[in-house]
Amino acid sequence: MTASILLLKKSRTSSFLGYGKIEDKWQLALKTTVGKFEWDNKAQEEKVIKESWYDPLTKASRDVRLEAALQFDDFLVALKEHAVAQLAKVKLAKKQAELK
């Protein structure tokens, strides 16, 4: 008697709002990541293969832009925190340069 197993391929797509240099200019952008879950018979475990890409927010569909708008407050908070951290590094480097 032979058993047959049907393996379903699973995937998960995530999008993240950010700011970066896309198409040679700084702009709001989306990072899209697709994780594909595949069964590895040799290792007897599921492995995740991830693929990511970046697109300008202005080229996204209307639905995606509306979804991004819901993330905008969190994006601004994270951007401010990043800027504060970068300024602290600059101030520290300047202070260390003055000590030399």
**What is this structure's pTM?**
0.62
- DSSP helix/strand/coil, 93: helix
Closest alpha carbon to 32 in 41, 24, 22, 40: 22
Kindly report, residue by residue over 64-97, the tens digit of the pLDDT: 899 899 989 999 999 999 999 999 999 999 999 8
Between 15-29, 35-49, 56-70, the lowest mean confidence (pLDDT) is in: 35-49
Residue 30 and residue 52: Cα distance in Å, rounded?
A: 10
